[in-house]
Amino acid sequence: MSASIITDTDTAAQALRAGQLVAIPTETVYGLGANALDESAVLKIFTAKNRPSFDPLIIHQSTPERILAYASEISEEAFKLAEAFWPGPLTMVLPKHRSVPDMVVSGLPAVALRVPDHPVALELLSKVDFPVAAPSANPFGFVSPTTAQHVKDQLGERVDYILDGGPCRVGLESTIVAFPNGEATILRKGGLPIEQIEEILGHRLAVKTHSSSQPEAPGMLSKHYSPGNHLEIFERLEEDQPIPAGSARIVFGRGGKAISYDDKRLITTYDLSPNGELAQAAQQLFTFLRLMATHNYPFVAAELLPETGLGRAINDRLRRAAATE
Ligand code: AMP
Ligand code: MG
Q: What does the pLDDT look like over 1-20, one tens digit per residue?
A: 689 999 999 999 999 999 99
The maximal CA–CA distance of the chain, rounded, in angstroms, is 63
Q: How many other β-carbons are positioned within 10 Å of the β-carbon of residue 14? A: 15
Pocket (CB within 6 angstroms of ligand 1): 55-56, 58, 93, 105, 108, 110-112, 135-136, 173, 176, 178, 187, 218-220
Q: Which ligand sits nearest to residue 185's alpha carbon?
A: 1
Q: Identify the weakest region by mean pLDDT among 126-140, 157-171, 201-215, 305-319.
A: 201-215
The β-bridge partners of 33 are 22
Q: For residue 315, what is the enclosing H or E element?
A: helix 310-322
Read off the pLDDT of each residue in 192-216 and give the average, rounded to a whole number.
Answer: 83
187-202 per-position pLDDT tens digit: 999 999 999 999 999 9
306 alpha carbon – ligand 2 mean position (Å): 24
Query: Which domains are assigned to the chain?
Result: 4-207 (3.90.870.10), 231-322 (3.40.50)
Give yes or no for residue 218 having a pLDDT over 60: no
Give the CA count within 13 Å in the CB-facing half-sphere of 218: 21
Closest CA to 186 of 166, 201, 200, 207: 207
In this prediction the pTM is 0.95
pLDDT band at 221 (very low <50, low <70, confident <90, very high): low
174 CA closest ligand 1 atom index: 4
Nearest ligand, CA 178: 1
SS3 state at 150:
helix
Closest residue CA from atom 9 of ligand 1:
219
Calpha distance 182→205 (Å, rounded): 12
Model pLDDT, residue 213: 45
